[in-house]
Amino acid sequence: MTDATKQKFLVLYLIPASVMGDWAKTDPTIRQAEEQKMQAAWGKWMGEHGKMIISTEVGGKTKRVTASGVSDTKNDIILCSLVEAESHDAAAKAFENHPHLQIPQSSIEIMYVRPMSGM
């Protein structure tokens, strides 16, 4: 499959807010050591799979828009990536052993992105 025929996928990296809150309270020495370990594992993963990543962005404050208006909200998304792969299964398989999954209760969701027609 060529780059022109690869499909695009949105990858969401999630951690429950309660886990993030607990992590912020962790002893800084322990937290720093764990973060360095994860950064090294992430670097290794990127060396093996980085070519599929188009972009990665860090999540921030969230706003919810409804018919009633705009409000502040929270969700479990901490990062998102746009990736290219031959199939949905191939994209998901690449993330099976991702270092993000070392975080308790974390998950990764991969969603097929199709072109929006008629706009």
The domain that contains 43 carries what CATH number?
3.30.70.1060
In a domain, 118, yes or no: no
Q: What is the pLDDT of residue 19?
A: 86
Banded pLDDT at 52 (limits 50, 70, 90): very high
Banded pLDDT at 25 (limits 50, 70, 90): confident
Hey, is 3 helix, strand or coil?
A: helix
CA distance 61 to 69: 17
Q: What is the pLDDT of residues 60-78, one digit of tens each?
A: 899 999 999 999 998 999 9
pTM for the full model?
Answer: 0.86
9: CB partners within 8 A, 6+ apart: 82, 83, 84, 85, 88, 91, 110, 111, 112, 113
In a domain, 119, yes or no: no
* Cβ-contact 6, 80 below 8 angstroms: no
- The tally of domains found in the chain comes to 1
What is the distance, to the nearest Å, from the Cα of residue 96 to the centroid of all Cα atoms in its chain?
13
Provide mean pLDDT across the span 82-105: 95
Select from 53, 54, 94 the least CA-distant residue to 108.
94
Domain that holds residue 27: 3-113
Q: What is the pLDDT of residue 115?
A: 82
